[in-house]
Structure 1
Amino acid sequence: MEVKECVAKHPKLNRLKLIRRIVFMIVGAGLFSVGLEIFLVPNNIIDGGITGISIILAHETRLPLGIFLTVLNVPFLLLGYKQIGKTFAFSTLFAVLMMSIGTSLLIPVPPLTIDPLLASVFGGIILGIGVGLVIRSGGSLDGTEIVAILVSKKSPFSVGEIVMFFNVFILGSAGFVFGWDHAMYSLIAYFIAFKMIDITIEGVDQSKSVWIISDNNDEIGEAITSRLGRGVTYLEGEGGFTGSYKKVIFCVISRLEEAKLKSIVDEMDTGAFLAIGNIHDVKGGRFKKKDIH
């Protein structure tokens, strides 16, 4: 009842969110199309997943790339509809259709470079940003992960391992179709795109979560607050071996503050337990830095 009332009270906000998602998916799919048709495809360089298979098939059959991007992705969306949810399925279908249309519209546009290394680097960057924008908007541009989810349920392999196997097989196939030098360029483009997806989703100034267990918890907590300007939270813990009470410090810092935090912990307690992990999003609370006087 509360959710319905909330939705009813903020119809403009919901419409703005929907419009924002659609715009980002269109922009992301457009960038992906540019990366393919203006950089990778003219230089016989492929990407991983369904996109890589589509590029190979389009090259062998001389049919438009957009046809294969749609025909190969849609069956996997239908197959995994129950596993991935209605919203994600429709978002992905919309993004794939926009990508297919984009590749068709860009066919007459000449490539910006015929240097395969430049094409790999800049094509990978643009592809990665495009995919990252679509993922941030709740969709996807490739059905490989859907296949991996379904296969992992009936095999001992994880989703990541299955996706890696698919991509190694697909990128390796480029060696037989385009030559092994182009297969190696394809690996460069794939790696760059993979890293750009992470950067686009997580942001350049990536946040990090920190857990600290020490006998000098209070001193470390005060030092983090006064010297880094970050708030800390004390959690209650129990030692697994000794069963003794442990106080755990939790805080969130920026990537640039990691080195300074480590030096603070080492200065206070060289034997302290310190665990640092990446965080995709930070929202709410008091994450904003306090002024340090």
Structure 2
Amino acid sequence: MAVNLRTFVHTGGLLPGGIAGLTVLVQGIFQRFFGMDVPYGRLYLALNAFPILLAVRKIGKKFTAYSCITISVVTILTEILPTTTITYDTLLISIFGGIINGAAISMALLAGATTGGTDFVAIYLSERYAMDGFNYVLGFNAVILCCAGLLFGWDKALYSIIFQFASTQVIHVLNNRYKKNTLFIVTDKPDEVVRCLNSDVRHGVTEMHVFGTYRRQERTMIYSVISTPELKMVLKDLKEVDPAAFINVIKTDQVSGRFYIKPND
């Protein structure tokens, strides 16, 4: 992330999103309309107070601590690393800078941390309301950048929205924690399959008695919804329990009701 900031983002002069973008926007508003210079550091820390408090109370202290380490390391490396120019094409900078930024955020999420700011809010929304919180953060960033476009010029603001969009799409591809799959398992060994699912995951299992028209005999169908990171392990264990089982895996966009998500801490 630090390398990305010192190459693509710095060269393109893109406007930041998230809390950093909101800080710059508030600074600009106070400067333009009130003639006041608001210190960036103190304002940035003040605006970060709510996301950090939300993370500590609702996501986890360990997760928040790791995120603070991530923020500190990125800050230090950004100060140390030299500025390097790869291209001056603002469109290329917006696209590839966004891709690298999304990959960096996904790496942090994989390690049980995040890069701070609005990412805390995205994680909270994803876990609390079973929704794609990063899409809402993208919308928030778009609003912030449009307001910044009114104050500082539209070119950089619109390119910055492309940067944020590319970053969000990469996170969607690489971060599987909140994705879900529905399993339909037709088997002659329902007890063994249910025990396998109960030992592998902490999700509800529904057993249905069905009729197979090919062999004209009674069968059992097991229904369950599991998270995508658990899928590979579950399929492997199911094949060991019942090699003849017919398993249909369907991507699930949304569930309503209680669905277990492994805590961050």
Question: Shift in Å at residue 249 of structure 1?
Answer: 4.9
Name the counterpart of 2:181: 209
Q: 1:222-259, CA deviations, whole angstroms, 9 ceiling, x for partnerless residues?
A: xxxxxxxxxxxx951389xxxxx9943559xxxxxxxx
TM-score, normalisation: structure 1:
0.53
Name the counterpart of 2:114: 140
Q: 1:72-122, CA deviations, whole angstroms, 9 ceiling, x for partnerless residues?
A: 57523552222222101101110111111122123x413322111010111
Name the counterpart of 2:247: none
Opposite residue 133 of structure 1, the aligned amino acid is: M
1:82 aligned to 2:60? no
Name the counterpart of 1:192: 166
Question: Shift in Å at residue 188 of structure 1?
Answer: 1.4
Opposite residue 159 of structure 2, the aligned amino acid is: Y
Question: Shift in Å at residue 52 of structure 1?
Answer: 2.8
Structure 1 stretch 75-84 or stretch 184-193: which is displaced more?
75-84
Give % identity: 29
Name the counterpart of 1:282: 231
Name the counterpart of 2:208: 237
Question: Shift in Å at residue 159 of structure 1?
Answer: 5.7
Q: 1:210 to 1:166 in 2, by over 3 A?
A: closer
127, 133, 142: which one pairs with 1:168? 142
Tell me, what secondary structure is at the counterpart of 2:207?
Answer: strand
Q: Is the 8 A contact 2:52 2:120 kept in 1?
A: no
Tell me, what secondary structure is at the counterpart of 2:88?
Answer: coil
1:248 aligned to 2:248? no
- Matches of 1:54 and 1:212 in 2, distance apart? 49
TM-score, normalisation: structure 2:
0.58
Name the counterpart of 1:44: 13
Paired residues, number:
205
Q: Is the 8 A contact 1:201 1:280 kept in 2?
A: no
Q: Is the 8 A contact 1:70 1:97 kept in 2?
A: no
34, 42, 66: which one pairs with 1:91? 66
Tell me, what secondary structure is at the counterpart of 2:231?
Answer: coil
Question: Shift in Å at residue 69 of structure 1?
Answer: 10
Q: 1:210 to 1:132 in 2, by over 3 A?
A: same
Question: Shift in Å at residue 40 of structure 1?
Answer: 1.8
- Matches of 1:69 and 1:91 in 2, distance apart? 23
Tell me, what secondary structure is at the counterpart of 1:209?
Answer: strand
Q: Is the 8 A contact 1:49 1:142 kept in 2?
A: no
Q: Is the 8 A contact 2:19 2:48 kept in 1?
A: no
* Structure 1 gaps, min length 5: 1-31, 152-156, 220-233, 240-244, 252-275
Q: 1:159 to 1:201 in 2, by over 3 A?
A: closer
Question: Shift in Å at residue 287 of structure 1?
Answer: 2.2
Name the counterpart of 1:33: 2
- Matches of 2:38 and 2:11 in 1, distance apart? 14
Question: Shift in Å at residue 131 of structure 1?
Answer: 0.4
